[in-house]
Amino acid sequence: MSRRIVITEFMDEAAVQTLRAEFAVVYAPDLVDRPADLAEALRDADALIVRNRTQVNESLLTGASRLVAVGRLGVGLDNIDQAYCASRNIAVVPAIGANAAAVAEYVVGLAMVLLRGFLFSSAEVAAGTWPRARLASGREVAGKVLGLVGYGSVGQRVGQLARAVGVRVLAYDPMLPTAHPAWRDATRCDEVDDLFRAADVVSLHVPYSAQNAGLVDERRLGLMKPGAVLVNTARGGIVDEAALARALRSGALAGAAVDVFAHEPLPAGSALAGVPNLFLTPHVAGVTYESNERVSALIAQRIAEILRPA
Ligand X SMILES: NC(=O)c1ccc[n+]([C@@H]2O[C@H](COP(=O)([O-])OP(=O)(O)OC[C@H]3O[C@@H](n4cnc5c(N)ncnc54)[C@H](O)[C@@H]3O)[C@@H](O)[C@H]2O)c1
Q: Based on the shown chain and the rule CB under 6 A, indicate whether residue 159 belongs to the binding site for ligand X.
A: no
For position 150 contacting ligand X by CB under 6 A, the verdict is: yes
In terms of Cα–Cα distance, which of 183, 127, 126 is closest to 151? Answer: 183
Assess 235 for contact with ligand X (CB under 6 A). yes
74, 52 contact by CB (below 8 A): yes
Query: Of 207, 213, 225, 262, which lies in the binding site for ligand X, with binding defined by CB under 6 A?
Result: 207
Shortest distance (Å) from residue 256 CB to ligand X: 14
Instruction: Kindly state whether residue 1 participates in binding ligand X, applying the rule CB under 6 A.
Output: no
Per rule CB under 6 A, is residue 203 in the interface with ligand X? no
What is the 3 state secondary structure string of the chain? Answer: CCCEEEECCCCCHHHHHHHHCCCEEEECCCHHHCHHHHHHHHCCCCEEEECCCCCECHHHHCCCCCCCEEEECCCCCCCECHHHHHHCCCEEEECCCCCHHHHHHHHHHHHHHHHHCHHHCHHHHHCCCCCCCCCCCCCCCCCCEEEEECCCHHHHHHHHHHHHCCCEEEEECCCCCCCCHHHHHCEECCCHHHHHHHCCEEEECCCCCCCCCCCECHHHHHHCCCCCEEEECCCCCCECHHHHHHHHHHCCCCEEEECCCCCCCCCCCCCCCCCCCEEECCCCCCCCHHHHHHHHHHHHHHHHHHHCCC
Is 292 a residue that touches ligand X (CB under 6 A)?
A: no
- Nearer CB in complex with ligand X: 249/302: 302
The question of whether 235 is a catalytic residue gets the answer yes
Q: Is 263 a catalytic residue?
A: no
Q: Which of 51, 157, 205, 283 does the annotation list as catalytic?
A: 283
> Active site includes 290?
no
Residue 294 is a binding residue for ligand X (CB under 6 A) = no
Nearest to 201 by CA among 287, 107, 62, 73: 107
Name the segment binding ligand X (CB under 6 A); options: 54-62, 116-124, 170-178, 266-274: 170-178
Q: 235 or 294, CB closer to ligand X?
A: 235
- Catalytic residue (one of 40, 264, 290, 305): 264
Nearer to ligand X (CB atom), residue 49 or residue 234: 234
Which of 81, 200, 241, 259 is close enough to bind ligand X by CB under 6 A?
A: 259
**Can you tell me which of 64, 285, 295, 307 binds ligand X, judged by CB under 6 A?**
285
CB of 224 to ligand X, least distance (A): 17
Residue sitting closest to ligand X (CB): 152
Residue closer to ligand X by CB (options 138, 207) is 207
Q: Which residues bind ligand X (CB under 6 A)?
A: 74-76, 96, 99, 103, 149-155, 172-173, 175-176, 205-208, 211-212, 233-235, 259-260, 283, 285-287
Active site residues: 235, 264, 283
